Amino acid sequence: LSSLEPGEITSDLLELIANEPSLCPHLHIPLQSGDATILVRMNRHYHPDFYRELVLEATQRIPDLAVGADVLVGFPGETDECFQNSYRLIESLPIAYLHVFPYSPRPTTPAATMNAQVSPSVIRQRCGLLRELDQAKRLTFLQRFSGEMRQVLVENRRDEASSMQCGFTDNYLPVLVPADSALENQVVMARLDRLEGNRLVAIPV
């Protein structure tokens, strides 16, 4: 499953992911903002508290679940307090990674003519803070699975620095596989051995 809006994720869907082996334990759930006022201005029909409870329920019911989130930074009206509400919400949740996007006005959209446009320099600063948080979240999630056995999809591309095959675990951990091309495009069991940069080295068994 790829990106799903928060309201589309039901208890039945979580139950299915938890019990159906053909579904990978990964959900990308766009947040956009962790501030209630900004979500209203975005015309998004959920509250930060709903998002919080959804992520907590999902990760409690599916312990190995990787949850990714999109965050849009600098939407018109985003004050320092609004941004801090977003930051604190993300910081408090077991999110595996973020996709951070800076807001930029698009002609003919309602947001382009809203008051309280945020300056580009402030948007850059806030994006930087969230990208630092993203790196910390990614590292924490990777370290949690070091030493475990996981299914790994070995891709048909190599990492230039290490010459190892690239791949992903079933719960979307990026890995490097010291294997030859015979394993390309195959799913194998592997032991997640150690961190190498922002990826784990996965040893096929």
What residue type is assigned to position 1 of the chain? L
**Least reliable range by pLDDT among 11-20, 35-44, 171-180:** 171-180
Which two structure tokens, joined as six digits, stand for 69? Answer: 């989130």
45-to-7, 32, 83, 174, 187 alpha-carbon distances in Å: 8, 12, 19, 32, 39
Measured between alpha carbons, how far is 192 from 200 in angstroms, rounded to an integer?
6
170-184 confidence digits (pLDDT tens): 999 999 999 777 899
Q: What is the pLDDT of residue 65?
A: 98
Q: What is the pLDDT of residue 180?
A: 74
The DSSP code for 107 is T
Report the C-alpha dihedral over residues 62, 64, 68, 69, rounded to 10 degrees.
Answer: 40
Q: What is the pLDDT of residue 182?
A: 83
Quickly tell me which residue has 């938890």 as its tokens. Answer: 18
Which two structure tokens, joined as six digits, stand for 169? Answer: 């675990």
Q: Residue 166: beta bridge partners?
A: 176
Dihedral of CA 73/74/76/78: which sign?
positive
**Rounded average pLDDT over 182-196:** 93
Measured between alpha carbons, how far is 130 from 96 in angstroms, rounded to an integer?
13
Q: What domains lie within the chain, and their CATH numbers?
A: 6-144 (3.30.750.200), 149-204 (2.40.50)
Measured between alpha carbons, how far is 153 from 156 in angstroms, rounded to an integer?
10
Q: Are the beta carbons of 96 and 172 closer than 8 angstroms?
A: yes
Confidence of residue 153 (pLDDT cuts 50, 70, 90): very high
What residue type is assigned to position 170 of the chain? D
56-115 confidence digits (pLDDT tens): 999 999 999 999 999 999 999 999 999 999 999 999 999 999 999 999 999 999 999 999
